[in-house]
């Protein structure tokens, strides 16, 4: 049976941090969370046939946009040290509202727990299929527009976000990867050409051991990156939280326009 927790207005997110504490927080690993209100934020338990287990499923609608019907979706893939159950304390609902307050079109954030499988199939456990098939279906049940999807992720989740876009061309309109756990010769490097036409954002802290690998990936992309930077920061959410606003900007730009439908065709599972 599905269980749902409504989180809006409960103060579930971690303490809001003023910009004056930005350097200290990102060094310590504590998230830097904007002072925007939380809208319709939910943490549910859903059974994933792709994973063969019940998982946490998180959604956050920007404040002022009701239940989010008709809004596009930014899929969020967590790293190895967090799960979707951590998203409220990381302030993701506040980032969704902050994006709108900064002038972007509204976008729903959505993600589920994929454990530590790098968002790839592992035997009968397939978190990538969960993201490709089940999360969009769960989002569609809520009335979100799953013809307009983007994806972001950090560390292991950044790798998974890039791999998702490569594996299923046309599924997402943009990819934002923070310190993706990539290395030359892996699947993401081998499939970099499949990202042609997809806006890709890449971020990595200058104190992160993955910096050289991320820079190498940028050189391997078939086109210049659409967003991203290499600034002071470590391999932690203190740094990744400072990248989230720019990732929301990229997602909002990329999903703003409705999907183009061919005359006589029915609705499809993703963008065309």
* Structural domain contains residue 271: no
Confidence of residue 271 (pLDDT cuts 50, 70, 90): very low
Average pLDDT over residues 164-171: 98
Per-residue model confidence as pLDDT tens digits over 226-238 = 999 999 999 999 9
Better pLDDT: 7 or 188: 188
Task: Output the pLDDT for position 168.
Answer: 98
Q: How far apart are the first and last CA of the chain?
A: 34
Assess contact for 231 and 211: CB atoms under 8 A.
no
* Structural domain contains residue 207: yes
Per-residue model confidence as pLDDT tens digits over 54-107 = 999 999 999 999 999 999 999 999 999 999 999 999 999 999 999 999 999 999
Angle 89-138-123 (CA atoms, 0-180°, nearest 5)?
85
CA Rg value for the chain = 17
Task: Output the pLDDT for position 256.
Answer: 94
Task: Output the pLDDT for position 6.
Answer: 61
The CATH number that applies at residue 185 is 3.40.50.1820
Task: Output the pLDDT for position 4.
Answer: 58
* Structural domain contains residue 263: no
* Structural domain contains residue 33: yes
Name the residue range of residue 123's domain: 3-255
Read off the DSSP letter of residue 147.
T
Per-residue model confidence as pLDDT tens digits over 36-58 = 999 999 999 999 999 999 999 99
* Structural domain contains residue 196: yes
Q: Could you tell me the two tokens for 18?
A: 């003023």
Lowest mean pLDDT among 111-120, 153-162, 257-266: 257-266
3-class secondary structure per residue, 159-210: HHHHHHHHHCCCCCCCEEEECCCCCCCCHHHHCHHHHCCCCEEEEEECCCCC
Q: What is the separation of C-alpha 118 from the centre of its chain, rounded to a whole number of angstroms?
A: 14
Helix (H) or strand (E) holding 245: helix 237-255
- Provide the domain count of the chain: 1
Assess contact for 149 and 76: CB atoms under 8 A.
no
Read off the DSSP letter of residue 38.
-
Q: Which of 186, 164, 189 is CA-nearest to residue 175? A: 164
């Amino acid at each position: 049976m599905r269980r749902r927790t409504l989180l809006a207005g409960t103060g579930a997110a971690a303490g809001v941090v003023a910009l004056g504490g930005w350097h200290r927080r990102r060094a310590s690993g504590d998230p830097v969370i904007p002072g925007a209100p939380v809208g319709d934020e939910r943490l549910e338990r859903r059974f994933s046939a792709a994973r063969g287990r019940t998982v946490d499923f998180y959604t956050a609608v920007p404040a002022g946009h009701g239940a989010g019907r008709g809004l596009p979706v930014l899929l969020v893939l967590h790293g190895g040290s967090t799960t979707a159950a951590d998203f409220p304390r990381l302030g993701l609902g506040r980032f969704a509202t902050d994006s709108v307050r900064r002038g972007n079109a509204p976008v729903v954030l959505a993600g589920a727990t994929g454990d530590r499988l790098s968002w790839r199939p592992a035997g009968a456990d397939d978190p990538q299929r969960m993201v490709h098939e089940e999360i969009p279906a769960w989002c569609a049940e809520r009335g979100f527009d799953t013809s307009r999807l983007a994806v972001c992720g950090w560390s292991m989740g950044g790798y998974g976000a890039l791999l998702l876009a490569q594996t299923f061309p046309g599924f997402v309109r943009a990819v934002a990867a923070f310190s993706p756990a990539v290395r030359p010769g892996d699947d993401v490097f081998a499939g970099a050409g499949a990202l042609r036409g997809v806006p890709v954002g890449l971020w990595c802290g200058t104190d992160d051991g993955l910096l050289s690998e991320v820079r190498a990936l940028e050189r391997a992309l078939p086109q210049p990156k659409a967003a991203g930077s290499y600034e002071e920061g470590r391999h932690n959410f203190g740094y990744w939280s400072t990248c989230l606003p720019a990732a929301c900007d990229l997602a909002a730009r990329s999903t703003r326009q409705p999907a183009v439908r061919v005359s006589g065709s029915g609705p499809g599972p993703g963008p065309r």
